[in-house]
Amino acid sequence: MSHGIGAKKERLLNKQNIRTWDDFLRVRTLSGISTQRKAHYDRLLQLARKALLQQDAGYFARLPQREMWRLYPHFKKNCCFLDIEADTKAIIVLTLFDRFESTTFVRGVHLEKDVIQKELDKHKLVITYNGSAFDIVHLKRLGIVVTQPHIDLKPLCERLGLAGGLKAIETTVGIQRPAHLRGSATDAWKAFWASGDREYLELLIAYNEQDAVSLYQLMEWCQKRLKTFK
Protein backbone atom coordinates (compact mmCIF):
# COMPACT_ATOMS: atom_id res chain seq x y z
CA MET A 1 0.00 0.00 0.00
CA SER A 2 1.01 3.65 -0.41
CA HIS A 3 -0.29 7.07 0.70
CA GLY A 4 1.03 6.73 4.23
CA ILE A 5 1.07 2.97 4.78
CA GLY A 6 4.66 1.79 4.82
CA ALA A 7 6.30 -1.44 5.86
CA LYS A 8 5.92 -0.75 9.60
CA LYS A 9 2.20 -0.05 9.40
CA GLU A 10 1.71 -2.98 7.02
CA ARG A 11 3.18 -5.26 9.68
CA LEU A 12 0.74 -3.76 12.20
CA LEU A 13 -2.13 -4.55 9.84
CA ASN A 14 -0.86 -8.09 9.35
CA LYS A 15 -1.03 -8.60 13.12
CA GLN A 16 -4.73 -7.70 12.85
CA ASN A 17 -5.18 -10.35 10.12
CA ILE A 18 -5.33 -7.72 7.38
CA ARG A 19 -3.45 -9.20 4.44
CA THR A 20 -5.52 -8.30 1.38
CA TRP A 21 -7.55 -5.38 0.09
CA ASP A 22 -10.77 -7.26 0.88
CA ASP A 23 -9.60 -7.84 4.45
CA PHE A 24 -9.03 -4.09 4.86
CA LEU A 25 -12.37 -3.10 3.33
CA ARG A 26 -14.32 -5.68 5.33
CA VAL A 27 -13.64 -4.09 8.74
CA ARG A 28 -14.87 -0.71 9.98
CA THR A 29 -12.06 0.16 12.38
CA LEU A 30 -8.40 -0.73 12.79
CA SER A 31 -5.84 -0.11 15.48
CA GLY A 32 -3.37 2.57 14.50
CA ILE A 33 -5.58 4.12 11.77
CA SER A 34 -8.09 6.89 12.46
CA THR A 35 -11.67 6.60 11.23
CA GLN A 36 -11.13 9.48 8.80
CA ARG A 37 -7.92 7.94 7.45
CA LYS A 38 -9.59 4.52 7.18
CA ALA A 39 -12.36 6.04 5.01
CA HIS A 40 -9.71 7.68 2.81
CA TYR A 41 -7.88 4.37 2.35
CA ASP A 42 -11.15 2.61 1.61
CA ARG A 43 -11.80 5.00 -1.28
CA LEU A 44 -8.29 4.50 -2.62
CA LEU A 45 -8.61 0.72 -2.47
CA GLN A 46 -11.94 0.81 -4.28
CA LEU A 47 -10.30 2.81 -7.08
CA ALA A 48 -7.33 0.45 -7.17
CA ARG A 49 -9.58 -2.60 -7.30
CA LYS A 50 -11.53 -1.09 -10.19
CA ALA A 51 -8.27 -0.33 -12.06
CA LEU A 52 -7.08 -3.90 -11.51
CA LEU A 53 -10.33 -5.37 -12.82
CA GLN A 54 -10.03 -3.15 -15.89
CA GLN A 55 -6.37 -4.16 -16.33
CA ASP A 56 -5.37 -0.50 -16.12
CA ALA A 57 -1.67 -0.92 -15.35
CA GLY A 58 -0.99 2.80 -15.74
CA TYR A 59 -3.00 3.52 -12.60
CA PHE A 60 -0.37 1.70 -10.55
CA ALA A 61 2.60 3.64 -11.94
CA ARG A 62 2.31 5.72 -8.74
CA LEU A 63 3.47 2.80 -6.61
CA PRO A 64 6.95 3.11 -5.07
CA GLN A 65 9.56 1.08 -6.95
CA ARG A 66 10.00 -1.15 -3.91
CA GLU A 67 6.42 -2.43 -4.31
CA MET A 68 6.18 -2.68 -8.11
CA TRP A 69 6.88 -6.42 -8.00
CA ARG A 70 3.35 -6.92 -6.64
CA LEU A 71 1.94 -6.05 -10.09
CA TYR A 72 3.65 -8.95 -11.82
CA PRO A 73 1.07 -11.72 -11.17
CA HIS A 74 -1.73 -9.41 -12.34
CA PHE A 75 -0.09 -8.15 -15.55
CA LYS A 76 2.15 -11.11 -16.32
CA LYS A 77 0.30 -11.88 -19.56
CA ASN A 78 0.94 -8.35 -20.85
CA CYS A 79 4.47 -7.66 -19.65
CA CYS A 80 7.78 -7.45 -21.46
CA PHE A 81 11.33 -8.05 -20.32
CA LEU A 82 13.60 -5.38 -21.72
CA ASP A 83 17.36 -5.55 -22.05
CA ILE A 84 19.83 -3.43 -23.98
CA GLU A 85 23.52 -3.40 -24.73
CA ALA A 86 25.12 -0.01 -25.27
CA ASP A 87 28.52 1.54 -25.83
CA THR A 88 29.63 5.08 -25.01
CA LYS A 89 27.65 6.40 -27.99
CA ALA A 90 24.21 4.80 -27.75
CA ILE A 91 22.19 1.60 -27.77
CA ILE A 92 23.78 -1.26 -29.73
CA VAL A 93 21.00 -3.81 -29.41
CA LEU A 94 17.62 -3.86 -27.67
CA THR A 95 15.39 -6.86 -26.96
CA LEU A 96 11.78 -7.07 -25.79
CA PHE A 97 10.72 -10.54 -24.61
CA ASP A 98 7.05 -11.30 -23.82
CA ARG A 99 7.67 -14.76 -22.21
CA PHE A 100 7.20 -16.47 -25.57
CA GLU A 101 8.88 -14.46 -28.32
CA SER A 102 11.68 -11.92 -28.61
CA THR A 103 11.67 -8.78 -30.71
CA THR A 104 15.19 -7.44 -31.18
CA PHE A 105 16.51 -4.20 -32.69
CA VAL A 106 20.13 -3.61 -33.75
CA ARG A 107 21.84 -0.28 -34.39
CA GLY A 108 22.38 0.34 -38.06
CA VAL A 109 19.91 -2.38 -39.02
CA HIS A 110 16.45 -1.61 -37.60
CA LEU A 111 16.95 0.37 -34.38
CA GLU A 112 14.29 3.01 -35.07
CA LYS A 113 12.65 5.14 -32.39
CA ASP A 114 9.05 5.00 -33.66
CA VAL A 115 9.14 1.26 -34.31
CA ILE A 116 10.51 0.52 -30.84
CA GLN A 117 7.99 2.85 -29.17
CA LYS A 118 5.12 1.15 -30.98
CA GLU A 119 6.35 -2.30 -29.92
CA LEU A 120 6.94 -1.19 -26.32
CA ASP A 121 3.46 0.35 -26.07
CA LYS A 122 1.87 -3.05 -26.68
CA HIS A 123 2.81 -4.04 -23.14
CA LYS A 124 1.39 -3.00 -19.76
CA LEU A 125 4.42 -3.72 -17.59
CA VAL A 126 8.16 -3.36 -18.27
CA ILE A 127 10.79 -5.40 -16.40
CA THR A 128 14.55 -4.78 -16.46
CA TYR A 129 17.69 -5.41 -14.46
CA ASN A 130 19.19 -2.09 -13.35
CA GLY A 131 16.95 -0.39 -15.88
CA SER A 132 16.36 2.66 -13.70
CA ALA A 133 20.04 3.60 -14.01
CA PHE A 134 20.81 2.16 -17.45
CA ASP A 135 18.18 0.82 -19.88
CA ILE A 136 15.48 3.42 -19.24
CA VAL A 137 18.08 6.21 -19.33
CA HIS A 138 19.28 5.10 -22.78
CA LEU A 139 15.71 4.83 -24.05
CA LYS A 140 15.06 8.43 -22.98
CA ARG A 141 18.15 9.56 -24.87
CA LEU A 142 16.70 7.91 -27.96
CA GLY A 143 13.40 9.71 -27.38
CA ILE A 144 11.49 6.62 -26.24
CA VAL A 145 9.10 7.10 -23.32
CA VAL A 146 8.27 4.32 -20.86
CA THR A 147 4.84 5.18 -19.47
CA GLN A 148 4.08 1.73 -18.03
CA PRO A 149 4.91 0.66 -14.48
CA HIS A 150 8.52 -0.52 -14.41
CA ILE A 151 9.95 -3.29 -12.25
CA ASP A 152 13.71 -3.03 -11.74
CA LEU A 153 15.01 -6.42 -10.63
CA LYS A 154 18.33 -5.15 -9.30
CA PRO A 155 16.98 -3.58 -6.07
CA LEU A 156 14.67 -6.57 -5.63
CA CYS A 157 17.65 -8.92 -5.82
CA GLU A 158 19.58 -6.77 -3.34
CA ARG A 159 16.60 -6.92 -1.01
CA LEU A 160 16.83 -10.72 -1.19
CA GLY A 161 20.58 -10.67 -0.49
CA LEU A 162 21.78 -10.98 -4.09
CA ALA A 163 24.33 -8.49 -5.40
CA GLY A 164 26.28 -8.09 -8.61
CA GLY A 165 25.56 -8.20 -12.32
CA LEU A 166 22.89 -10.26 -14.05
CA LYS A 167 25.19 -13.14 -15.01
CA ALA A 168 26.58 -13.46 -11.49
CA ILE A 169 23.06 -13.64 -10.08
CA GLU A 170 22.03 -16.17 -12.74
CA THR A 171 24.74 -18.47 -11.41
CA THR A 172 23.66 -17.95 -7.80
CA VAL A 173 19.98 -18.75 -8.40
CA GLY A 174 20.62 -21.58 -10.88
CA ILE A 175 19.59 -19.97 -14.17
CA GLN A 176 21.37 -21.82 -16.99
CA ARG A 177 22.87 -19.94 -19.94
CA PRO A 178 24.41 -21.62 -23.03
CA ALA A 179 28.21 -21.53 -22.84
CA HIS A 180 28.58 -19.60 -26.11
CA LEU A 181 26.38 -16.79 -24.73
CA ARG A 182 28.47 -16.05 -21.66
CA GLY A 183 30.85 -13.67 -23.40
CA SER A 184 30.58 -10.00 -24.30
CA ALA A 185 27.90 -8.58 -26.57
CA THR A 186 30.09 -5.53 -27.13
CA ASP A 187 32.89 -7.75 -28.47
CA ALA A 188 30.43 -9.42 -30.87
CA TRP A 189 29.30 -5.96 -32.02
CA LYS A 190 32.87 -4.82 -32.69
CA ALA A 191 33.62 -8.05 -34.57
CA PHE A 192 30.49 -7.65 -36.69
CA TRP A 193 31.29 -4.10 -37.79
CA ALA A 194 34.95 -4.91 -38.36
CA SER A 195 34.26 -7.98 -40.49
CA GLY A 196 30.65 -7.68 -41.66
CA ASP A 197 30.32 -11.36 -40.85
CA ARG A 198 26.65 -12.14 -40.18
CA GLU A 199 27.70 -14.84 -37.70
CA TYR A 200 28.76 -12.13 -35.26
CA LEU A 201 25.45 -10.29 -35.74
CA GLU A 202 23.51 -13.45 -34.98
CA LEU A 203 25.66 -14.02 -31.89
CA LEU A 204 25.01 -10.45 -30.73
CA ILE A 205 21.25 -10.91 -31.10
CA ALA A 206 21.30 -14.31 -29.38
CA TYR A 207 23.31 -12.88 -26.50
CA ASN A 208 20.87 -10.05 -25.86
CA GLU A 209 17.81 -12.26 -26.25
CA GLN A 210 19.26 -14.66 -23.68
CA ASP A 211 19.62 -11.74 -21.26
CA ALA A 212 15.91 -10.95 -21.70
CA VAL A 213 14.92 -14.59 -21.17
CA SER A 214 17.04 -14.64 -18.01
CA LEU A 215 15.12 -11.61 -16.75
CA TYR A 216 11.90 -13.60 -17.03
CA GLN A 217 13.38 -16.49 -15.08
CA LEU A 218 14.78 -14.13 -12.46
CA MET A 219 11.45 -12.30 -12.09
CA GLU A 220 9.74 -15.63 -11.42
CA TRP A 221 12.40 -16.50 -8.85
CA CYS A 222 12.11 -13.13 -7.07
CA GLN A 223 8.34 -13.05 -7.06
CA LYS A 224 8.04 -16.44 -5.37
CA ARG A 225 10.44 -15.41 -2.62
CA LEU A 226 9.17 -11.90 -2.07
CA LYS A 227 5.67 -13.22 -1.32
CA THR A 228 7.00 -14.75 1.89
CA PHE A 229 9.92 -12.37 2.51
CA LYS A 230 9.81 -10.32 5.69
Domains of the chain: 7-54 (no CATH), 72-226 (3.30.420.10)
Q: Please report the DSSP string for 13-38 in residue order.
A: HHHTT--SHHHHHH-S-BTTB-HHHH
CB 58 within 8 A of CB 66: no
CA 203-206-207 angle, 5° bins? 85
Give per-residue pLDDT as tens, 162-218: 989 998 999 999 998 877 776 667 777 777 767 777 787 888 888 899 999 999 999
Cα 2 from Cα 167, distance rounded (Å): 33
- Residue 84 pairs with which residues in a beta bridge? 94
Please state whether beta strands 150-152 and 91-97 pair in parallel, antiparallel, or not at all (unpaired). Answer: unpaired
Are the C-beta atoms of residues 39 and 45 closer than 8 Å to each other? no
User: Does pTM surpass 0.85?
Assistant: yes
pLDDT single digits (tens) 26-81: 988 888 888 999 899 999 999 999 999 999 999 999 888 889 999 999 999 999 99
Q: List the one residue out of 172, 96, 178 whose CA is nearest residue 135.
A: 96
Cα gap 33→39, rounded to integer Å: 10
Q: What is the C-alpha to C-alpha distance for residues 29 and 24, in angstroms, rounded to an integer? A: 9
Strand (E) or helix (H) holding 152: strand 150-152
